[in-house]
Chains A and B, each alone.
Chain A
């Protein structure tokens, strides 16, 4: 089944893209298309206009600015995984990017698209929340703690465009993922970082999407060791339960993966 017809627009700057969005009642931006096109094929989205962010200069690429790594929204997963700067400064982020989907998906999919989509089983939300990153849009900056807003939802306003993501470089960070064997999405993924503070973020698990495991953060702040979080767990009642795994399984994985991530950093 083909995709329903739409008007295609390829703006060359952010203001033009925003204007094109506002001029149409029902528009969608397209970045890598690795989520949007499958969704359009299923007719779960039938936008009247598709606005391609691919023609906007300056939206892709990675740069170091002071103690932060700035990743452009249109940067492909494969380029994050291969970047010498990312591998040197936040190897856990490069590792995470290299675990997303498969090479073909990583060659097209972008960080901005993944974050705007906020799939509860996506990997980047764990990186952004677990590293305490900031999402930079065409009009403001949003801290990770304020950005994610439940399943497939964010605090982006209608038409707001992610421009880049700013990651503070941590002292140490590790990402552990238990991939769904068929889809490669995270059945559970946990990012642990130690920098200004300790952060533990879990994806794939929570019914409300990516979340911080504050009890573990507090224990690790006192004693950064796998032992310190032994016995700590999250409530199975708050976890996703589906045909792939019950809530108790996911809750167990959050603990196991968090301990593995910490152990990898000791």
Chain B
């Protein structure tokens, strides 16, 4: 079985994984990080979005062996201590979720999007969330949350 090293939410992990294991399965089943959801398993919905070396990716469409040596961030790694990440806080404030199934993926996609383009506008958010589907909210509050989260990320960065 191939042996790989992943740094997941800051913690290095040496893992033996079958070559055909998907990254999402290793995160959920081996590392018990079940915040990363599997919605479609067909690369469409984005519920499984995590960051690989700082970039958003659908972890159902990445082999764990392909991620060997990478830094992985999941929704569990976003908050610092008891303090929610500004994007998580914004989703809460704006009611950017109903059932919450798509939320971890939405937030991970949003954080990567804003890191890439801090001054993102509404059209940019809508285009940038094309890989994430929500069956509940109608997206309105999600977009509002991401725009507000973007501002909060700027402020928290400026404030150190």
Whole-angstrom CA separation of A103 from B127 in the bound complex? 9
A104 is an interface residue with CB less than 8 A from chain B: yes
With known contacts A37-B43, A102-B131, A108–B62 Cβ distance under 8 A: yes
A27-62 residues with Cβ-Cβ distance < 8 A to B are 30, 33-34, 37-38, 41, 50, 52, 54
- For the complex formed, measure the closest distance between the CB of B148 and the CB atoms of chain A, giving whole angstroms: 20
**Number of CB contacts from chain A to chain B under 8 A:** 75
Provide the A76-111 mask, 1 if CB < 8 A to any CB of B, else 0.
Answer: 001000000000000000000000011111011000
Does A3 touch B at the CB level, under 8 Å? yes
Q: How far is the CA of A119 from the CA of B58 in the complex (A)?
A: 21
Which A-chain residue is minimally distant from B65 (CB atoms)? A8
* Alpha-carbon gap, A41 to B41, bound state (A): 9
Return the contact of B128 from the options A4, A10, A103 (Cβ within 8 A).
A103
Report chain A residues within 8 Å CB of B61. 33-34, 37-38, 108
Cβ contact within 8 Å between B130 and A184:
yes
Contacting residues, chain A, for B128 (C-beta < 8 A): 103
Check if B88 is an interface residue, CB within 8 A of chain A. no
Q: Which residue of B42, B55, B132 contacts A78 across the interface (Cβ within 8 Å)? A: B55
Question: Would you call B131 and A38 a contact (CB within 8 A)?
Answer: no
Q: How far is the CA of A30 from the CA of B131 in the complex (A)?
A: 22
Are A104 and B19 within 8 A (Cβ)?
no
Distance (whole angstroms) from the CB of B13 to the closest CB of chain A: 19
Which of A10, A38, A78 has its CB near the most chain B CB atoms (within 10 A)? A38
B52 cross-chain contacts in A, Cβ below 8 A: 107
* Residue pair B20, A34 in contact (C-beta under 8 Å): no
Beta-carbon contacts of A1-43 to B below 8 Å, as 1s and 0s?
A: 1111111101000000000000000000010011001100100
Smallest distance from the beta carbon of A101 to chain B beta carbons, Å?
7
Cα distance, A43 to B2, chains bound together (Å): 22
Shortest 5 CB-CB contacts between residues of A and residues of B: A102-B131, A8-B19, A102-B130, A107-B55, A3-B20
15 contacts between A and B (CB under 8 A): A1-B41, A2-B25, A8-B2, A33-B61, A33-B63, A33-B66, A34-B43, A52-B65, A78-B55, A101-B131, A103-B130, A104-B131, A105-B43, A107-B57, A108-B62
Using CB atoms and an 8 Å cutoff, list the residues of chain A in contact with chain B: 1-8, 10, 30, 33-34, 37-38, 41, 50, 52, 54, 78, 101-105, 107-108, 184
Contacts A103-B56, A108-B58 supplied; 12 other A-B pairs, CB < 8 Å: A2-B22, A5-B20, A30-B63, A33-B66, A38-B61, A50-B63, A78-B55, A101-B130, A103-B128, A104-B57, A107-B56, A184-B130
